[in-house]
Structure formats: structure tokens, C-alpha cells
DNA sequence: GACAGCCCGGCAAACGTTTGCCAAACTGGT
DNA sequence: ACCAGTTTGGCAAACGTTTGCCGGGCTGTC
């Protein structure tokens, strides 16, 4: 019968306030939006009092429709289960909030078709910007880029061309790892990586190998192995297995992500190899948990906590009509 | 001058399609929404073809305004940096997507005033439901509950009264930990916890202690310590420090979360205590990384991956007008 | 007193969609 | 030929907000 009664506080609208204040909704709207000089001081005061008393809050849907700005930003991230991705998400979310935006989070599971589905869905949500973490090449992405949508790429550059970017200098990160191991006097070095690595992975490995060559280590002296796999954990385990197939463990091992390092570590445990005494493992990311439960891991710390502010800065630049730009943040090798 | 030209593909609207098809926007709307029986087969076919060709996608803002449903759900979570929270977020996001909703993610940093700010902001976004992970008591929360907003509490029950809930039987989880340690013949047992723990933490500790009492261990034989702290990592470290202050390490230690266990582990490392030989540590959550880098940790696995579906189920029940209900999922003690 | 300029505020048209209602055209039965 | 019923589709009013434009009343100047 009167099922509406059950929980139907009807929302307070501009009209509600306007009626109570004896002014038009236009006036209330202007006052709510801080437009001064369009109403007398007394009117403003009175309306504001009523707004407060009634707890009026503008309906964002109506506003978005009229102003054509939703104040929503979409963040597409592969597997949130990866702590590095979670850290980026947290950082971006916080930065967006302080800039007055809210974040829709989409987990693409690193799959192009899901990324496309989300890009379409977000477009019909009328989001104002996109943050693409480790994006993959896909049709809707190309279309979005071509349309000139405001996109910031994080971690991995636009797989199809230019675009705003926030990340680190991956090549230098690899080189820093090389320098460290070299300085420790370790010469039997190895590196593992995903078989179809992203540009980020490739650059890290590349920087590592190049630097070692500069230091005088012949290319063929650096053992390499790769593996396919769903997660970097499994890739690390499987690639390490291939690496040591019949052979001894290297004295130093670069893993292009902490997750891969964990995978390699598990194999080492199973084989009775002592880490870090027998083999120094270097990861990249420096997961916050390392300090607590993986002090054996040397890792390149990426300042994920600072990503959010940079990302929002890039978005605002795009909104202001500026050209896309790249922002490289400093990294730091952490040894415990 | 013509700056609009630069990147202004004007969006394709119902009107665009309607004009091209020579029908009214009403007809297009109905066809897009799958309403059959209101247009001839040929018209439907023709319109659908044009919709496909033009790539028309309904604008969700317009639709939300008219239908009064945004298909947006807000998820409020404390620190995403906690892998357990990230796992919940990922699971809920996936479940929402397959139900046709999108998720706005809000990181409350476990602070009541931020939670309030978000609750207000989400209300003006006209979200259709709320997923509150480990919610804290707050003013806007009470108001929202009183208004009858559709809220599902996860992990921690509504701090102010009843409400839909998804989680595990925390008391039994604590008891299971007690059973395990007891069965190992360990009798010098201890437990640490946050000084102002949530109901979840309290229940876990409570279940642990009660079960031990049932098994014949006098209450005062169970050492307890607590600490204040920002993160459970720090709480674990500090509480463990108090626990062993001058005294020996216990043979078994319950930590109400894996994070706290990591904190205790770090102290053990520093003190040269061998884990698990000297002290069995039991955590709760069973972080996915445990299998890889913390095999020493015994942990109660919580099926976070299943939370999403349950949460969405609860939301749909609330939308259908059903009463709030509680959903307890099975947990399992994992020993490696 | 005419006129310009300002202050204060309202009217009404958007924004893109959905949907209740009406109506024209057709069908088939008498 | 008429009528009832069905099929097909359009009109226009919402939904809640913002904002261009207009106008009435006031002040001050010539």
C-alpha cells in the first residue's frame, strides 16, 4: 500500500530550500555556488541558514547533466591484488579527492577486452578523465586517444603512441640494480622476466644488461630466463626454475618486480638456497611489506605515494588544454 | 577562434540516431532499451543498425537523472594498502561489474570524519548503495542507516546497530587457532591485539581465549598485550614488544590479522627468535603472499574472493526491499 | 524630471534520457 | 460501412541543476 512511506525521506532539493526561503531556485543555486553579488547580504544569509538547517546538498546528477562535468575520473588498473597497483590506486584516490573528484575503479585483470569494456562504460558515465595503469593495447584505447580524451598513463606508457605519463626511469632503475650488485663484487649475474613483458619490464632488464656491459661484463655472461604466467609471482617461480635448470644459482638476480622476486624466493627456499647469503635478489617496487617480512630483498623503491599528485596534475594540465607530458619520479635502491 | 574544433567530436545522442533513422527519439530510446512490441521489426532493425554504425551509447547522466538510478555503488574502505582490503575491493568490483554496476572507491584511512565526508559526497553522487568495509561509528553513518540507505557492512558489523553483513565467524576463527596450537602441544600461549580493537579483532581474541579455557587452560595463563598504532604492522610490533618485555617468547602467538603477525615477526627477527621453531605465529586473513614469502605463518584463510558476490547479493536483496541479513562465510586454517 | 547605471532577483531554456498518454493506421469481424 | 482491437509511433513532461537574459526598483547626475 504505502510502501513508499517505509523509508522515503524525500530528498531536499533546490526547490525545497527556495520555497522555504521565499526566493527562486535560481537564487538559491547561485548562493550555493558561492556567487556573490547577485543577492543581498540578508538573502544570502537567510538562504545559507536554511541550506544548513535542511542539509541541502546539490544533486550531482542534475549538475553533471547541466554543466557537462561529472567530476568523476576512471582509473583502470590490472589486478588490484598486486600491492604496487593498490598503492597507486590509494594514492590517486587521495589526490583526486582533495581536488574535488571521485574515482571509479575498474579492475581490467590485464585483459584487453575488459579494458575496452570499461573504456566504453566509462565513456557513457561521462567521466572527465582516465588514469590507465599498465594499459595494454586495445581498440577502444586507440579510439579514446584519437578522440583526444584526457588520459594519463601510469607505469607503462601509451602502448599506441604518445600521451601523458607518470612513472620512473625504468632503464636507470635496472642500471642501478646492476651497479649495486657489481659493487658487491658479484659477477655471476642473472635476470628473469615475463616472456611477453611490458615496456616497463623490458626497459628494466635492458638497463640492467647495458649497464653491466658498460662495466665490462660480456653480454653472454648474463644468464636470462623468462616464463609465461598469470601473475608475476608465478612468472618469477617458473622463470627461476628455467634459469637454474641443471645449473647453479647465480650470485645476483634481478627481478623486474617484487612479485617476481617473491616467486624466485620460493623456489630458492624449496631448493635450500640461502637468501641473501648465496644469492642476492633485487626486485623493483619495494613493497611496503618488504621491511617487515622480506628484509632479504634488495629493491628499487618507487614513490607510489607521490604518483597521485602527479597524476592529478597531469589531468588538470590536459583539462586546461596543455599538451601531454611525461613525468619521471625519482627511485631509490633500498638495501636492508 | 575555432578551438572547439580541435578535439570536439560531438557525442552521438538519441537525437542523432533518431534524425538519421527518421523516427522520434522516444522510439530510439525504447529500442535501445530492448522494448519490443513498440516498433515494427523493420524499424527496430534499421535503428539498431544505425546505433551500431554511429556507436551510440546512452549517456548515463541523463538516464540517471530521469530514472533516478545511477548504477553506481560506493565502496568505503580503510587503507587500501592492506592487502586484505585490496582483495575485498577487487572482489566487490568484479561482482558489481558483472551485475552492471560501477564502483566508486573511497579510502577513508580509517578516520570517522573522512568517512562522513565520503558518505555525504556519495549521497550527492546519488549512489545506489554503499559497501562499508570495517566501518567506524560516525554521525553521517547513523544518519544514513536511519534513512534506510542500502548499506552492506563487510568485515566489521554496523558499529551502530543492525545491518547487512558479510564476513566470517570471528569467534570461531579464534577458537580454531586455539585448537590448532593446543593440538600441537603448545601450552605457553599469548595473544596481541590493537588497544582499541574493532569488534572483529575483539571477537577473534575472545574466541581464542574462551576456547583455551574450555580446553582447560586458565585464563591468566594466556599472556595478552596490546598497543596503539596507525597500522596493524606497527601495532603487531609494539604489542609483541610489550608482550615479551623482560619475559620469554611464548610458544604460540595469536595475532588477529596477518599484518600484526608481520609486525611480531619483525621483532622476532630482531631478537633472534626462530619462527616457527621457537614460536608458532598464527595470523588471520591468509594474505596471498604468505605462500610465497611467509610460509612460517599459520593463518586463517578468509575467502575474500567470494565476498564480492555475497555483497552484491545483499545489496540486491536490500534493493528488493528485503530485510538486512548476515552472511557468514567459511574460513579455514592454513598450515604450511 | 529624464536618463544612465547598478543592485537584486526571477523566468525559462537548456542538459539527455525515459515514459505516460494519445493518436493514426491498420486488421478483421460483423 | 462500421466498430473494436491491435500495432506502431510521436508529444511532451518530467528528473535537478545552471545560467543567459530580462526587468523592476533604486541612486545619482545633468
pLDDT in tens, A26-77: 999 999 999 998 999 999 999 999 999 999 999 999 999 999 999 999 999 9
Distance B53 CA to D10 C1' (A): 24
As a three-state string, the secondary structure of chain A is CCHHHHHCCCCCCHHHHHHHHCCCHHHHHHHHCCCCCCCCHHHHHHHHHHHHHHCCCCCHHHHHHHHCCCCEEEEEECCCCCHHHHHHHHHHHHHHHHCCCEEEEEECCCCHHHHHHHHHHHHHCCCCEEEEECCCCCHHHHHHHHHCCCEEEECCCCCCCCCEEEEECHHHHHHHHHHHHHHCCCCCEEEEEECCCCHHHHHHHHHHHHHHHHHCCCHHHCEEEEECCCCHHHHHHHHHHHHCCCCCCCCEEECCCHHHHHHHHHHHHHHCCCCCCCCEEEEEECCCCHHHHCCCCEEEECCHHHHHHHHHHHHHHHHCCCCCCEEEECCEEECC
Instruction: Please enumerate in sequence order all residues whose Cβ is within 8 A of that of B322, keeping only pairs 6 or more positions apart, or say none.
Output: none
CA B235 to chain centroid, in Å, comes to 21
pLDDT at B102: 98
Residue B266's closest CA among A271, A180, A259, A288?
Answer: A288
For residue A213, pLDDT beyond 90: yes
Put simply, the answer to whether A292 touches B148 (Cβ < 8 Å) is no
Q: Which nucleotides of C are covered by protein (CB under 7 A)?
A: 7-12, 14-20
Distance B240 CA to D8 C1' (A): 76
What are the structural domains, with CATH classification, of chain A?
Answer: 3-58 (1.10.260.40), 70-162+304-330 (3.40.50.2300), 170-301 (3.40.50.2300)
**Are the C-beta atoms of residues A317 and A129 closer than 8 Å to each other?**
no
How many residues belong to chain B? 336
pLDDT at A165: 98
For residue A22, pLDDT beyond 60: yes
pLDDT at B3: 38
pLDDT at A4: 37
Low-confidence stretches of chain B (pLDDT beneath 50): 1-7
All three cell numbers of B179, joined, read 585448537
The 3-state DSSP composition of chain B as helix, strand, coil percent (nearest 5) reads 50, 15, 35
Q: Region A161-183: what's the mean pLDDT?
A: 97
- Which residue is nearest nucleotide D15, judged by alpha carbon to C1' distance? B66
For residue A152, pLDDT beyond 50: yes
How many residues belong to chain A? 336
Check if residue B97 sits with its Cβ under 7 angstroms from strand D. no
pLDDT at A8: 53
Chain A closest-CA separation from residue B73 CA (Å)? 10
Task: Indicate the SS3 state at residue B292.
Answer: helix
Instruction: Please enumerate in sequence order all residues whose Cβ is within 8 A of that of A173, keeping only pairs 6 or more positions apart, or say none.
Output: A204, A207, A284, A300, A302, A331
Task: Indicate the SS3 state at residue B138.
Answer: coil
Distance CA A157, CA A227 (A): 23
Distance CA A238, CA A231 (A): 11
Check if residue B24 sits with its Cβ under 7 angstroms from strand D. yes
Q: How confident is the model at residue A241 (pLDDT cuts 50, 70, 90)?
A: very high
Check if residue A61 sits with its Cβ under 7 angstroms from strand C. no
Distance CA B131, CA B315 (A): 9
Burial class (CB in 10 A: 0-12, 13-18, 19+), A132: buried
Instruction: Please enumerate in sequence order all residues whose Cβ is within 8 A of that of A235, keeping only pairs 6 or more positions apart, or say none.
Output: A192, A193, A194, A226, A227, A228, A229, A259, A260, A263
Distance B30 CA to C20 C1' (A): 13
pLDDT in tens, A104-137: 999 999 999 999 999 999 999 999 999 999 999 9
For residue A224, pLDDT beyond 70: yes
Check if residue B126 sits with its Cβ under 7 angstroms from strand D. no
Check if residue B325 sits with its Cβ under 7 angstroms from strand C. no
All three cell numbers of A309, joined, read 599528485
- Quickly tell me which residue has 543498425 as its cell: B49
Put simply, the answer to whether B81 touches A81 (Cβ < 8 Å) is no
All three cell numbers of A159, joined, read 602502448
pLDDT at B254: 98
Q: Which nucleotides of D are covered by protein (CB under 7 A)?
A: 7-12, 14-20
For residue A7, pLDDT beyond 90: no
Q: How confident is the model at residue A6 (pLDDT cuts 50, 70, 90)?
A: very low
**Are the C-beta atoms of residues A19 and A45 closer than 8 Å to each other?**
no
Q: Region A292-321: what's the mean pLDDT?
A: 98
Distance CA B262, CA B238 (A): 11
All three cell numbers of A25, joined, read 531556485
- The beta-strand segments (E) located in B248-295 are 252-254, 280-285
Amino acid at each position: 500500500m504505502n510502501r513508499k512511506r517505509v523509508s522515503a525521506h524525500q530528498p531536499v532539493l533546490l526547490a525545497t530550500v527556495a520555497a522555504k526561503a521565499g526566493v527562486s531556485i535560481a537564487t538559491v543555486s547561485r548562493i550555493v555556488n558561492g556567487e556573490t553579488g547577485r543577492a543581498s547580504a540578508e538573502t544570502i544569509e537567510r538562504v545559507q541558514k536554511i541550506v544548513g538547517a535542511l542539509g541541502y546538498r546539490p544533486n550531482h546528477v542534475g549538475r553533471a547533466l547541466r554543466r557537462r562535468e561529472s567530476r568523476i575520473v576512471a582509473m583502470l588498473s590490472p589486478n588490484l591484488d598486486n600491492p604496487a597497483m593498490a598503492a597507486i590506486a590509494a594514492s590517486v584516490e587521495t589526490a583526486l579527492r582533495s581536488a574535488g573528484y571521485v574515482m571509479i575503479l575498474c579492475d581490467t585483470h590485464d585483459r584487453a577486452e575488459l579494458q575496452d569494456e570499461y573504456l566504453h562504460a566509462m565513456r557513457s558515465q561521462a567521466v572527465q578523465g582516465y588514469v590507465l595503469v599498465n594499459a595494454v593495447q586495445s581498440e577502444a584505447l586507440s579510439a579514446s586517444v584519437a578522440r583526444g580524451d584526457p588520459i594519463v598513463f601510469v607505469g607503462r606508457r601509451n602502448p599506441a603512441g604518445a600521451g601523458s605519463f607518470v612513472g620512473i626511469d625504468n632503464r636507470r632503475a635496472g642500471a642501478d640494480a646492476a651497479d649495486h650488485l657489481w659493487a658487491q663484487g658479484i659477477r655471476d649475474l642473472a635476470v628473469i622476466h615475463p616472456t611477453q613483458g611490458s615496456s616497463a619490464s623490458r626497459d628494466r632488464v635492458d638497463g640492467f644488461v647495458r649497464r653491466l656491459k658498460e662495466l665490462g661484463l660480456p653480454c653472454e655472461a648474463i644468464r636470462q630466463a623468462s616464463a609465461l604466467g598469470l601473475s608475476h609471482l608465478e612468472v618469477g617461480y617458473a622463470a627461476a626454475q628455467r634459469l637454474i635448470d641443471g645449473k647453479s644459482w647465480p650470485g645476483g638476480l634481478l627481478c623486474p618486480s617484487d612479485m617476481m622476486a617473491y616467486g624466485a624466493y620460493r623456489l630458492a627456499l624449496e631448493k635450500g638456497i640461502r637468501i641473501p647469503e648465496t644469492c642476492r635478489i633485487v626486485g623493483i617496487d619495494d613493497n611496503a611489506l618488504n621491511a617487515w617480512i622480506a628484509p632479504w630483498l634488495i629493491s628499487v623503491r618507487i614513490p607510489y605515494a607521490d604518483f597521485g599528485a602527479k597524476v592529478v596534475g597531469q589531468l588538470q594540465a590536459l583539462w586546461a588544454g596543455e599538451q601531454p607530458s611525461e613525468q619521471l619520479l625519482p627511485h631509490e635502491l633500498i638495501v636492508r
